[in-house]
Structure 1
Amino acid sequence: SIFWLLVSISFTTLSTFCKEQGITVIGLCSAFDVIMVCRIDMLSILKIRSSSSSSLINNYNNNYLLLRQLCLLLSGVLLLILRWRIMGYATPTFQIHDNPHSFVDGAIFRAINYIYLYAINIWILINPGWLCFDWSMGCIPVITSFSDYRVYIATTFLASIILLLLYSVKDTSKHQSLLILSLVLLIVPFLPGSNIFFRVGFVIAERVLYLSSAGMCMLITYGIISLAKGTEKKRVIQIGIILLITLYTSRSIQRSKEWRSEESLFQSGEKVCPLNAKVHYNIGKLNADKGNNTQAIYRYRLAIKLSPDYDQAMNNLANILKDKGELVEAEDLLTKAVTIRPEFAAAWMNLGIVQAQLKKIGLAEKSYLQALRHRRKYPDCYYNLGNLYLELKQHQAAIQAWRNATILKPTHVNAWTNTLILLDNIGELKLAENVGKEALKVLPREHQVLFNLANIYGKLEKYTESEQFFLLALKEDQNNAKYHLNIGVLYHRWGKYDKAEEAYQTALQLNPSNKVTQDNIAMLQRQRNK
């Protein structure tokens, strides 16, 4: 009915917004309508096979066919236009490591690579024991020579598909519509990921096989029907089906368990694609997040060895080496990363940080500005640029850089804190007070802002306000020795010696080796003994 057709189009629209493959459902609905609902013999209409006129007339008996097909066609066109507009009227740009097979020189070898990938996809549908979360970066090496044995696999697969299509044309059994619909359901949903119409950003993506798997199930069903026809071993076939379903169910459960955690997922990927640089990169990143830097370094180095132009792995490895103090190698890695990908803003910023630590101040500033040139809304880069200007004693430039950081990211705590400290140090206490109030509008419970604002009020001799903000800061971070020390200084200057001593003693308990706290306690005792 038209109602259910509109429901189907609505769900197709939602799926297309999630993933462009969803638009293929329009084609599937069209094929299902023609083949199964109206029972139209398209092969007879196209004169590929003869048929009686009466059967053709009977097949056209549905008067709403053209209306449904028109609705599907218009919906498909509108969805394509809308999706194209969302994409900015341009196809995405991919790098060679995303899909190296589409960058192979020569149309013949490119076609051979594509056909081989189609064969791998079919093999995954038949035997889902060989699954990986990412198939890029050397997981499947490209075919560049006719001596490669995989050329024969691609040729055999192509011949098999052609024979299957010819068989579907010549089949005159009552199950022919099932065979044709199976092939449509197998092939059509795969077309957006086939590299035929446009380059895609993956080698193999198991997600594009979700709908195609339904076609494969129907094709297997057709094969079972054909095997069972005219045989007395139906019991054997039934047992085989049960075993097949049990095997696939067990594999689904096993794969679901692998997806429960990143660690198990990445480890399963390493077993399938040990030459995939991205697999090792993800394992390295996972170890880095856990603080296991030794293993992270090993994995990042392995990823770079497998893919020498892997700029993201270079950036992450350089960050770990920077934290370990191995600045020279970190600088070399980051320089190579921005050479490979000049628009890599994060690598430019990290290069600036390393160069600043190496006291290459001029180069550091250029690197920060280069990062901002490629990513204008980059609050962390503005923050680091402000730190560089602070080191150069360019105070106004530093304040402006931190201001840019807080405009882009109002919750950037470090930028607010550094601004307050610098304004405090240069004596701009009234301006610092205003900045602190502005920061508290977006960070009302941030103890660093509260603490620095309390210090500023203390210097302005607004002791009541200073005490208030010190207590608020301590409420958020009550085990901070510095906070107890500074509120003790406030009480000391205010003449509230009992409270000052209590604060000093708490600070000393939290940090017994603090010389300033010890000196302040001694000073307080001398003043009391006078």
Structure 2
Amino acid sequence: MCSSPAPFGGEQWGLGHEGEHSRVPRGALPRLSRTAAPREPRSTCRRGGRGQRARGCAGNQPSSRDWGVEERASGHAQWGGGGGDGRGRRGDCCLFAAGPTRRHRRRRSAWRSRQVQLPQHHVGAPLRVAAARRRGPGSGGCQTPGRGQGSSGGGGAMVVITSARGGGGDRAPSRRRGCGLARAGAAALLAGASCLCYCRSLQGEFVHDDVWAIVNNPDVRPGAPLRWGIFTNDFWGKGMAENTSHKSYRPLCVLTFKLNIFLTGMNPFYFHAVNIILHCLVTLVLMYTCDKTVFKNRGLAFVTALLFAVHPIHTEAVAGIVGRADVLACLLFLLAFLSYNRSLDQGCVGENFPSTVSPFFLLLSLFLGTCAMLVKETGITVFGVCLVYDLFSLSHKQDKSSNGALCPRSPQQPRSDQSSSLPGHPHRENGKHQRFPHKGAWGGCHSPLPPEPKSSGFPVSPPAVWSMMRYLTASSNRNFLLTMRPFFKRAILVLSYVLVILYFRLWIMGGSMPLFSEQDNPASFSPYILTRFLTYSYLLAFNVWLLLAPVTLCYDWQVGSIPLVETIWDMRNLATILLAVVMALLSLHCLAAFKRLEHKEVLVGLLFLVFPFIPASNLFFRVGFVVAERVLYMPSMGYCILFVHGLSKLCTWLNRCGATSLIASTVLLLLLFSWKTVKQNEIWLSRESLFRSGVQTLPHNAKVHYNYANFLKDQGRNKEAIYHYRTALKLYPRHASALNNLGTLTRDTAEAKMYYQRALQLHPQHNRALFNLGNLLKSQEKKEEAITLLKDSIKYGPEFADAYSSLASLLAEQERFKEAEETYQAGIKNCPDSSDLHNNYGVFLVDTGFPKKAVAHYQQAIKLSPSHHVAMVNLGRLYRSLGENSMAEEWYKRALQVAHKAEILSPLGALYYNTGRYEEALQIYQEAAALQPSQRDLRLALAQVLAVMGQTKEAEKMTNHIVSEETGCLECYRLLSAIYSKQENHDKSYKAAVQLNPDQAQAWMNMGGIQHIKGNYVSARAYYERALQLVPDSKLLKENLAKLDRLEKRLQEVREKDQT
């Protein structure tokens, strides 16, 4: 005999023979404490007969601290873990199972068919209910000693309130610890997978858009102060109201870049590290979101997050530093979604919409959504996701939850006297359990619509629209506005807030939209509506294909990457139709289950997939790209949810062998995705690898050839650059920038001029083509035309600092100093962060006699760009000219710390030479000559130092070597003359001087003087006469000739005397 628990208050609370609820007087029921109900020792319980097995739990179990109702059946073991050992322990569900088997589904169906609900005022915590058929004494069932049967008849069922710990209560703490360890293990695996996939990117440099958003961004780069301009400029540092701005308003993302520089400088390692950390956080929060609001299954949530972590489509967003905008916006998107859900009453509310139980979390959701929008524009879509999720999902709580907990009856629901349909045993038909819906007061959490039959396909009957109409016109929802009042309040609040921030967004943009060129988005410039519609529709299917099969990935999909769809007979339209059918079926699935939605996987997957992609879909405004992989970062969450949900459903339909094959295929897919992600990270390591991969992946894309040519041009590989520029022009002949850059590499000025003019024909406001053509005309002495073109370049590019410098220098050459100074000042006003402009203005001030003013501009150039070694050298030369040698030496040495170059060593060596520090000068010049052995001036300066230090032979040898390479080196002959003079070889000295400059009268006169002293009067007269021809008015020459005449006369007299 197995003893049943003693009843509370001398009176059992159970079900009568006819299935009616027994009335219990108010106050008769005891207060539920946290101690289990007393029960007899388990050893007295007899096992049932042969074939009677313990039924295993097919669903998630309630918390071990919950109170529940436990089944005791004659001849059966207590509800246990599927092993039938009779110990009464609850079965633990597999956390990572893809879905229940058929046997488990039958058991779950039988279990749920016997669930009942306690009255509202007795529900203090989620309860677990089980009912068992009470057998008669002769059936071998359990008898209740001393209390009788409790309810008459063998068909009755007894329900006893006990602790949910049941017989296994002693194992609950370890189970909770196990769950915590499982969560921690899953989080560690996800973080590890994310880091392993992207750790290679830590070695990457600033590439592609990173250069413009960080390195060249005046709001971000080092030395730039933190100012309010961050909140008025776009992502690239331009004013939001300017015509050239892209209107990408992301101040919070820019602040993260600024914080990165403040903490770690311009080291790209730490920029990449922050991106990887953010990606790990997004992955973990996605797993938590799926576990709590989507699957209610840790295993499926883990697989979803793992698929998201390793998906190759995220490489651009994570490995590219500017992709931080997408990653951080996604993190804030998820947090805002979770906060919105947290603000609502998560309890069962029956036919009514949930009320707002936490205004704090609702306001927090608005704040986080706003932050997401200020990180990237797509963050604002979280508000639409929350409202639609609220309308379709939170408005309904099914009457039986997936973990076995019962929902309390809604307070607004009238109490019914109708008995609960709780049979004495599960009804069977053809040996299968049949499910009975709960009715009356015990089924308080039900939908007003008939229960939808379980089906593996999409519900097609009743149609979605009729389903919604039936709900809106149901008898229990006559007062529909009253029912939806909580939702209306939230919707009005959220929509009003969205309108306010949209108005702010338009205001900060200056009321204008960004201007894009045809090469950015060719379809948007098509004059045909059909072409635009078909192409935009196909691009949606193409983006979905990138999520499904990320085989071909590229950093840029512009200019011919995807040809336009211009006719309905294009075969690519089939992909568009297929996508439309799939999306329609998924939408109908959600609409048909309006207010009866038991599973939210499809709903959340659709919301996460569709809403974040709307801003990039060309639906409301033109975007500046054809396809951008980074914008799929947020929508990929919806894809991962739908993909894993589909796998789960498919796994439940397959037998064991098929399910095993499916799991193995999924693991293989995850490994392939991981491998692809690692390979894509290697592409993003450097500009060269990135641009070269674009040419290899999309050779028909003109933009990737143009970018690769720019890189080759910067590296000095001009022949390869010219080839790729011309390839880009073959693919897209209207590429004005390619024509302009090709002109800069052409040595033939006529051909270069032709390229510039063609570029201006295609784009008359191309400021760089105007600048280059102006400089070309300047070199051809067509200065007035050059001035006009340079002024136009400034007009169409007011932030182009090089145009100001070139125009000002041209005006200074014409001695129009006032206009030149005005040009410099206008340039500094429009380009206050241009270090080159400050440096050039300093040079202008030195040349015009204002050296003290120049000091301030040199220092400002160094402040804006701490690595500006040219400004440091100029400042050192200025201090040298002012006689402040110590300051000059300091600035030269600071420049050497930035860049150890020969052009910096040379002025420092000159300083040491002129101040008599010959040993230091010799060392500096030797270092400079080693860096640039072909530089003539450095070797000549080194020979000069050697000559001064007395090493005349080495100096003579080095100078003669220079003369043998360049016979027209005047400085070399002057140095040789000095060397010979020091060697007292005056003849060679002045011969070298004469070779240095045949028209140098002084050298001829000195050579005549040497011959004069030696007594070679004939040669001396010849040299004097040559010098006199050059300077006929030289008194010294005339005196020397007169002396020579007297000496010759005396010599003649002496000879005559000797002869006599």
State how 1:273-422 maps to structure 2 within 5 Å.
273-321=698-746, 325-406=747-828, 408-409=831-832, 411-412=835-836, 414-420=839-845, 422=847
Q: What is the deviation of 1:164?
A: 4.1
Q: Does 1:189 align with 2:612?
A: yes
Q: Can you list the C-alpha shifts for 1:126-178, whole angstroms capped at 9, x where unaligned? A: 11222221111000011223443223333343344334434554469965543
Give the CA deviation at 1:201. 1.3
1:518 Cα deviation from its structure 2 partner: 8.1
Mark the CA change 1:167 to 1:404 in structure 2 (over 3 Å): closer, same or farther.
closer
Q: In the alignment, which residue of structure 2 is the partner of 1:16?
A: 373
Q: Distance in 2 between matches of 1:351 and 1:289?
A: 20
Distance apart, 1:485 and its partner CA: 4.1
Match of 1:258 in 2: 683
The question of 1:153 aligning with 2:575 is answered: yes
Compared CA separation, residues 438 and 239, structure 1 to 2 (3 A): closer
Mapping of 1:457-476 within 5 angstroms?
457=882, 465-468=883-886, 470-476=888-894
Deviations 1:55-109 (A, max 9, x none): 9999997974333323322222122112112221122122111111122232222
In structure 2, C-alpha distance between the alignment counterparts of 1:505 and 1:229, rounded to whole Å? 85
Aligned residues: 504
Q: 2:220 is matched with which residue?
A: none
Aligned partner of 2:644 in structure 1 is 221
SS of the aligned residue for 1:513 comes to helix
Task: Tell me how far apart the structure 1 counterparts of residues 386 and 515 of structure 2 sit (CA, whole Å).
Answer: 31
Task: Say whether the 8 Å CA contact 2:843–2:854 is kept in structure 1.
Answer: no
Matches within 5 A, 1:504-515: 511-513=938-940
Does the aligned pair in 2 maintain the 1:309–1:340 contact within 8 Å?
Answer: yes
The alignment's TM-score, normalised by the length of structure 1, stands at: 0.82
Q: CA deviation at 1:119?
A: 0.8
Paired residues for 1:420-435 under 5 Å: 420=845, 422-423=847-848, 431-435=849-853
Q: Give the conservation status (yes or no) of the 8 Å contact 1:453–1:469.
A: no
Q: In terms of mean alpha carbon deviation, does 201-210 or 35-44 score higher? A: 35-44
Unaligned runs of 5+ in 1: 424-430, 458-464, 492-498
CA distance in 1, matches of 2:881, 2:791: 32
- Structure 1 distance, partners of 2:602, 2:925, is 83
User: In the aligned structure 1, how far is the partner of 2:828 from the partner of 2:361?
Assistant: 52
When the two structures are superposed, what TM-score results if normalisation uses the length of structure 2?
0.43
Pairwise CA distance, 1:224:
2.7
Contact 2:520 2:626 in 1 (8 A): yes
Task: Summarize deviations over 1:440-462 as a string: whole Å, max 9, x none.
Answer: 553578444335434654xxxxx
Map 1:59-138 → 2, pairs under 5 A? 64-138=486-560
Determine if the alignment matches structure 1 residue 165 to structure 2 residue 557: no
2:537 match: secondary structure: helix
Q: 1:326 to 1:451 in 2, by over 3 A?
A: farther
Identity level (%): 27
User: Which of 656, 659, 671 is the matching residue for 1:234?
Assistant: 659
Taking structure 1 as reference, are residues 214 and 505 closer, same or farther at Cα in structure 2, changes over 3 Å only? Answer: closer
CA contact (8 A) 1:380 1:405 kept: no
Secondary structure at the aligned position of 1:47 is classed as helix
What does the per-residue CA deviation read over 1:204-259, in whole Å, with 9 as the maximum and x for residues that have no partner?
12222222212222222332343234442333333333333333333333333333
- Given residue 304 of structure 1, which amino acid in structure 2 is its aligned partner? L
Aligned amino acid, residue 571 of structure 2: Y
Residues in 2 aligned to 1:309 and 1:349: alpha-carbon distance in whole angstroms: 19
Q: Work out the CA distance in 2 between the residues paired with 1:50 and 1:226.
A: 31
The gaps in structure 2 that reach 5 residues or longer are: 1-342, 344-358, 398-446, 448-463, 863-868, 897-903, 930-937, 942-969, 985-1060
Larger radius of gyration: 2
| 2:627 corresponds to | 204
1:495 alignment counterpart: none
CA distance in 1 between partners of 2:980 and 2:826 (Å): 47
Shift of the 32–56 alpha-carbon distance from structure 1 to 2, 3 Å rule, reads farther
Distance 2:392 2:714 in 1: 53
Residue 48 and residue 135 in structure 1: after superposition, are their counterparts in 2 closer, same or farther (change >3 A)? farther
Residues 322-343 of structure 1: per-residue CA shift (max 9 Å, x gap): xxx3322222222222222222
Q: Give the 3 Å change call, closer, same or farther, for CA 476–229 of structure 1 in structure 2.
A: closer
Paired with 2:592 and 2:392, the residues of 1 have a C-alpha distance of 16
* Distance in structure 2 (CA, Å) of the matches to 1:480 and 1:331: 38
Contact 1:43 1:49 in 2 (8 A): no
Answer yes or no: is the 8 Å Cα contact 2:811–2:817 preserved in 1. Answer: yes
Distance 1:188 1:374 in 2: 38
Letter matched to residue 203 of structure 1? V
For structure 1, which segment, 257-266 or 407-416, has the greater mean C-alpha deviation from structure 2 after superposition? Answer: 407-416
What is the root-mean-square deviation of aligned Cα atoms in Å? 3.7
Deviation string, structure 1 residues 238-282 (Cα, Å, up to 9, x no partner): 333333333333333333333333333333333432211111112
| Kept in 2: contact 1:137–1:277 (CA 8 A) | yes
SS at match of 2:469: coil
C-alpha distance in 1, partners of 2:593/2:917?
A: 97
What letter matches 1:435 in structure 2?
K
- The residue that corresponds to 2:856 in the other structure is 438
Cα distance, 1:33 vs structure 2: 2.1
Where do 1:470-485 residues align within 5 Å? 470-476=888-894, 480-482=905-907, 484-485=909-910
